[in-house]
Amino acid sequence: MKPLEEILKDVSRCVYCGFCESVCPTLPFGPHRGYGPRGRINLIINSIKEGNLSQEAASSIYSCLLCNACSEVCPMKIDIAGDIREMKALINRGAFGPISIKIRER
Amino acid sequence: MDKNAIKELVSSLGEEKVVTDKEIVRLYSKESSGLSGNAIAVLFPESAEEVSRIASIAYRLEIPIYPQGSSSSLSGNAFPSKMGVIVSFERMNKVKNVSLIDSVAIVEPGVRIEELNFMLEEKGYMFPIDPASQSIATIGGAINNGAGGLRGAKYGTMKDWVNGLEVVIPDENGTRLSLGCLTIKCRHGYDLVRLIIGSEGTLALVVGAALRIVPIPERVVTILSFFNRLEDLLNAFVEIKESGVQPYIAEFMDKKTVELAAKGVDISFSPNGNMLLISIDTTAESSGRVMNWLVDTMKRHNAIEIQSALMQQEAEEKGLFKIRRNLFSAQSRLGKKEGRPSRVFIEDIVVPPSKIPAAVSKLREIGEKYGFIVSLGGHIGDGNIHPSVVYDPEDEEEKKKVYRWFEEVMEVSLELGGSISAEHGIGTMKKGGMKMEFSEKSSEKAIDIMREIKAVFDPKCILNPGKVFDC
Amino acid sequence: MSLMNARFVAELLKEVSLKTMLPVPVKMDVIYGWAINEGLPRSGKRYLYTGGLYQLLPYINETVKYIKVLEKSSSGELALRAILDAIKVNPYIISSFIKPKPSEVNASYRILKSISRLVSKKVELAYLYEDDVYSGVLLYDMGLDDAFYEHAKKVYEKMLRRKATNLITVDPHTTYILREVYPKFIEGFDLEVKSYIEVLDELGIDLRGKARPKWGLVTIHDPCYYARYLSIYEQPRRLLSAVGVEIKEVRRSKKMTFCCGGPLEAMSPKYSEDIARSRMAELSSKSKVIVTMCPICRANLERVKEEGVTILDIAELLSEA
Ligand SMILES: Cc1cc2nc3c(=O)[nH]c(=O)nc-3n(C[C@H](O)[C@H](O)[C@H](O)COP(=O)(O)OP(=O)(O)OC[C@H]3O[C@@H](n4cnc5c(N)ncnc54)[C@H](O)[C@@H]3O)c2cc1C
Ligand code: SF4
Ligand code: SF4
């Protein structure tokens, strides 16, 4: 639903503070930072800018619960869960080619 | 070299603890300062023993190691500035033991400060170092950055709260050492614990810490006041200090910064002017008396708006900390150009608290000279100021200007008898500043001594190389 | 480690939804079965819209279990692909494998009856029966926007045909999707959507007699979609207080509630369970009685329930008063 530029504009405001990581339910049980909001947001930035997405990155994004705890504490008020959902839609539409999603818990 | 190294690390740690996916590695190659580099892998040790194996392999293969907690550093301390492996301590995050009778908590380095405090709170205790980033700052990161916080004036910084450390040094065996004691009193030769605190991961890998803890004060009264003149604000603070009271929290923000930080904050009073936020720990019986005295003091020094709370919960309900907590958010947004990438640059100088008015007026002058909107806030209790600007990292002209601004800010601290870094450390960004400071103090030799110390701990210069100074 | 391709789940969901308008292939009476003897009128202005989440959840979880079994079988991905192809032809082909525990189905029916009776006391309530179709929320959450759009259009048409102006919803996900997302996808969407919790809070709750708090002290697990997306967190507390229930809050409550992990269940049950277990530990440290108000939270916490813990839907508690 959101145009690509709008997603990119929103996520690009991230200042990498990591505050969002302190409230994310998936991060503590995931294999790495990709499974948390700071990671997901920056994977989105990099993949939209560069047009490619690894399976590991796509899976990290996919594992989000959309619970939105992260946005509550984000000092930049980024619509984190909303942007992640849009990214799932982009992946589904094949924007990054056929990627299989393999969610890994730690 | 890379392939061999990865192979060896995987066979030593298991595939599951070695991440090489480029996009994921990239996430660990960046820190909050906005600086980023690249690395061949991120390693996730789960025990001191595994850290020791990593150190030994890296030593043998001469691969740089970049230790990392949450990478919330602001001076280039945590990012990989050369190719190497990142060692993330995020999985070593257990609180192993808490003893109230010994007033000590034994923790792994990946425990976040706030998490530790949630646990201690249930027992009526706390770990008092509370950087604004405490929700993510790890014990290992805070130790190595020598972090401080709002309660700095009363409780000092990390260096005052670590009794003992378990460390691993990069040699053939990845030797593990137990330094310091479980107790506060501890006099066995040179204090290597204090040497490692603030060493920014350049001397040893911290794999465990024995932290001092204290009871949460019975009551904390809070008063938030606004002043037209910064001098009045300072005089009010001086009077508190001269009355023999050491505030629990003493924060200030100048008028312009208050305007920025108050935007979008939901509070029932109208913040206007220079802000002073004071909390004092008391007993239940004395809280009323202390509060009356505080209100009276603020009034005598011409405060134009005063809000007070007799208890922590009341202060939260009234939103007395909201403006202060919004500082980083305001700092990150101010002066941001729509649609352009932006980076916040948060400075971290310290001057004797009595010099704060002089520092503020100089900092304002410099900001205007470069045409930056500068926010000025900090810990008046300990003299630590965080002037900050937002700039466009892709605009070369602006970057140069920021750099010159940054140098001049550091000069201000030295002119006023302070230091170029209070709590964020040197990293890559303040290497020049550190030289400037020691040469100002005619003590260049101090840096040579540091270099030699570094070589003893880390002869191959593989631990966080390129940070603090080059080796 | 579970390495199922999550896109398979998405694909399956899409196919089944397109064919049956439900996320799992069951007969429509599964959805309105609870209302058979409730005597709710078929038409009116205010409709109860369950969106089927309470009723479907036992079936959804069984489907996930079934897929897991297939995945672990010797033919693994091949078997999954074969099923997907078969479903494209006839989605009901897997129905006979999906047999949830009757107790779970009964529990969701019981909750819905409680809700409908509570609300009926205050407003004239009609029911959609066979038009009480599923909202498409899982399609939206998985980012299957095209399928969601197609689905939502059909749902809206049904509502228009029933001349509905107000919908009273029963779970946070359906409330959110109807109130916040439908208007963005469907031009001219014009229905007032309220959760029954909001309705009861506004109109007050009728107490049968003097409130006798049978459960004493409870703790609340706020669902993310009520608390954060819709700012509904004081309302349930006011209702519980009104019926004399005392609440002991966990640290992560209201706007800062902690997700139960439910939405990951279909993609990685173990992951979802780890999250649920950590939440269970936090909740049970405050009270052995946990109040939920979302079928997903309920099911996910139920799976990791500790000894001596009771999980109650808020509707069950309110209807006892
Ligand atoms: C918004 C914001 C506000 C902040 N406010 C404050 C503040 O009020 N006060 C303050 O002092 N700082 C502050 N900081 C800076 C920073 O958050 C702190 O220094 C924090 O303690 C760093 O913790 P970390 O876990 O992120 O460490 P990292 O950034 O990951 O690492 C810090 C340093 O320690 C090293 N290191 C990490 N773990 C280990 C280990 N186990 N062994 C050896 N070396 C290790 C790293 O190599 C690096 O040099 C702030 C930062 C941000 C973004
Ligand atoms: S919305 Fe996703 S990224 Fe944000 S806290 Fe929840 S699980 Fe984590
Ligand atoms: S809290 Fe917001 S700005 Fe900070 S890292 Fe997370 S997404 Fe980025």
Least reliable range by pLDDT among C48-52, C221-225, C239-243: C239-243
| Local structure of residue C304 (DSSP, 8 states) | T
Using DSSP's 3-state secondary structure scheme, residue B148 falls into coil
pLDDT score for C1: 36
List of chain A residues with pLDDT < 70: none
Q: How many domains does chain C have?
A: 2
Residues C234, C196 share a domain: no
Name beta bridge partners: B223. Answer: B278, B308
Contact status, residue B252 vs residue B287, Cβ threshold 8 Å: no
CA atoms within 13 A on the CB side of C306: 14
Residues C229, C186 share a domain: no
The domain limits of chain A are 4-92
CATH code that applies to domain A4-92: 1.10.1060.10
Q: Where are the alpha helices (DSSP H) in B200-308?
A: 230-242, 255-262, 287-300
Contact status, residue C201 vs residue C235, Cβ threshold 8 Å: yes
Residues C56, C175 share a domain: yes
pLDDT score for C197: 98
Please provide the DSSP assignment of C109-147 as one string.
HHHHHHHHHHHHTTS--EE-GGG-----HHHHHTT-HHH
B205's enclosing H/E stretch is: strand B205-212
Does residue B146 have its Cβ closer than 6 Å to ligand 1?
no
Of A17, A23, A32, the CB nearest to B19: A32
Residues C232, C295 share a domain: yes
Of A16, A43, A75, the CB nearest to B329: A75
| Chain-chain contact of B27 with A38 (C-beta, under 8 angstroms) | yes
What is the pTM for the complete model shown? 0.95
Q: Which ligand is nearest to the CA of A42?
A: 3
pLDDT score for C2: 43
What angle is formed at CA B76 by the lines to CA B70 and CA B80, rounded to 5 degrees?
A: 75
Residues of chain C contacting A22 with CB distance shorter than 8 Å: none
Distance CA B451, CA B470 (A): 9
Q: Please, which residues have CB within 8 angstroms of residue C19's CB and are 6 or more apart in sequence?
A: C25, C87, C91
CATH code that applies to domain B95-215: 3.30.465.10
**How many other C-beta atoms lie within 10 A of the C-beta of residue C160?**
13
Nearest chain A residue to C144 by CA distance is: A89
Domain with CATH 3.30.70.2190 in chain B: 219-328
* From the candidate CATH numbers 3.40.50.1000, 1.20.120.530, 3.40.190.10, 3.30.70.2190, the one assigned to the domain spanning B219-328: 3.30.70.2190
Contact status, residue C193 vs residue C179, Cβ threshold 8 Å: yes
Contact status, residue C14 vs residue C147, Cβ threshold 8 Å: yes
B167's enclosing H/E stretch is: strand B162-168
Q: Please, which residues have CB within 8 angstroms of residue B273's CB and are 6 or more apart in sequence?
A: B226, B227, B228, B255, B258, B304, B305
Does residue A76 have its Cβ closer than 6 Å to ligand 3?
yes
Least reliable range by pLDDT among B382-396, C75-89, C297-311: C75-89
Tokens 């202390």 identify what position? B290
Residues C264, C123 share a domain: no
pLDDT score for C211: 55
Distance between C107 CA and the closest CA of chain A, angstroms? 25
Please provide the DSSP assignment of B22-55 as one string.
HHHHHHHSB-TTS-B---SEEE---SHHHHHHHH
Of A12, A32, A75, the CB nearest to B42: A32
For a mutational test of ligand 1's pocket, the pick from A16, A17, A33, A74, i.e. the residue with the most ligand atoms closer than 8 A to its C-beta, is A17
Residues C153, C30 share a domain: yes
Q: Is the pLDDT of residue C279 over 90?
A: yes
For a mutational test of ligand 1's pocket, the pick from B73, B111, B112, i.e. the residue with the most ligand atoms closer than 8 A to its C-beta, is B73
> C168, C201, C234 — which closes off a domain?
C201
Domain B335-440 CATH class label: alpha beta
- C-alpha C273 – ligand 2 centre gap (Å): 16
What type of residue is C199? V
Backbone angles phi, psi at A68, to 5 degrees: 70, 15
Residues of chain B contacting A73 with CB distance shorter than 8 Å: 135
- C-alpha A41 – ligand 3 centre gap (Å): 8
Residues C169, C37 share a domain: yes
Distance between C216 CA and the closest CA of chain A, angstroms? 30
Instruction: Give the ipTM of the model, two decimals please.
Output: 0.97
pLDDT score for C208: 62
Smallest CA separation from ligand 1 atom 50, residue: B133
> C201, C234, C266 — which closes off a domain?
C201
**Ligand 2 atom having least distance to the Cα of A40:** 3
List of chain B residues with pLDDT < 70: 1, 335, 339
What type of residue is B24? I
Q: Determine the straight-line distance between the first and last CA of chain A, rounded to whole angstroms.
A: 33
For B20, B30, B242, C5, C161, the CA distances from A59, given in Å and listed in that order, are 15, 21, 59, 9, 41
Q: Is the pLDDT of residue C165 over 70?
A: yes
Joined tokens for residue B453:
């110390």
Percentage, residues of chain A above pLDDT 70: 100
- C-alpha A77 – ligand 2 centre gap (Å): 14
| Chain-chain contact of A91 with C258 (C-beta, under 8 angstroms) | no
Q: What is the dihedral of CA A55, A60, A62, A63, to 10 degrees?
A: 140
Distance CA B178, CA B106 (A): 13
Domain hosting residue C234, numbered range: 208-320
Smallest CA separation from ligand 3 atom 2, residue: A74
B2-90 is classed CATH 3.30.43.10: yes
- C-alpha B71 – ligand 1 centre gap (Å): 6
Residues C146, C214 share a domain: no
Q: Which ligand is nearest to the CA of C252?
A: 2
| Chain-chain contact of A72 with C270 (C-beta, under 8 angstroms) | no
Residues C315, C216 share a domain: yes
Query: b or e along A66-93 (b: 16 or more beta carbons within 10 Å of the residue's beta carbon)?
Result: bbbbbbbbbbbebbbbbbbbbbbbbbbe
